[in-house]
Amino acid sequence: MFDAVIFDLDGTLLDTEALTQAAGIAAFAEVGITVDPLFLHSLIGRDDVTGAGIIRARYPDLEFHSFSEIWKRSVLDHYAGGIPLKPGTHELLGAIDQPIALATSSTRVQLDYKLSVTDIAPYFHHLISFDDVKQAKPAPDPFLLAASLLGVDPARCVAFEDSEAGAESAHSAGMTVVQVPDINPASGRFAHLVAPDLLTGAREIGLLPK
């Protein structure tokens, strides 16, 4: 039914979003700001450049460079105990016969770090990071590049995403989209299927047998 499978990373395969949110709360607290968790939720699925713009607009008096370094340190502190996988990650990746690519809004440095402390890198034929595209999600560029590198028609790809920005990106690329929401609920606007977990989504979309 599909010629290739493209996965998002954070919140889809890696259970990083809760850790990143906690790191953000701690970083804001360090500079004397009690941040609304819902504001941090608005950053989910966004690349660092876009996220920085959102933070600067909300807190124009924040000395952003110093804050950014504090947040980076806080993230590494929260990741130090390990980055857990989302349920079903190994079972799904190991069961897929089609070529697999990863399309993330993480930078190449961030991507390499996350893969170095987990064990899923061998599953992927290609890794697309923020540094590899002109426009990050929700633009279709990451998914279009993934399809191109795999040598397949985007319309013959199924994409797994958790965030709205990611689902919009894959949908705009012309792919079949399975959205497995993490922290933020899914609107369903950009998904062909909204599923409670990876394996259910794979079965319901026809990637794996029911």
pLDDT, tens digit, 9 for 90 and up, residues 155-178 = 999 999 999 999 999 999 999 999
Instruction: List, run by run, the mean pLDDT of 10-residue segments along the chain (210 residues).
Output: 97 92 94 94 89 95 94 90 95 98 96 94 98 96 98 98 96 98 94 98 96
Beta strand 193-194 pairing with 126-128: unpaired
How much is the mean pLDDT over the chain? 95
Candidates 3.90.1150.10, 2.40.50.100, 3.40.50.1000, 3.30.365.10; correct CATH number of 4-14+86-205?
3.40.50.1000
Does the global pTM surpass 0.85?
A: yes
**Termini Cα distance of the chain:** 14
Given its phi and psi angles, is residue 174 left (phi above 0), alpha (psi -120 to 50 degrees) or beta?
Answer: left
Q: How far apart are CA 4 and CA 15, in angstroms?
A: 23
The residue ranges of every structural domain in the chain are 4-14+86-205, 17-79
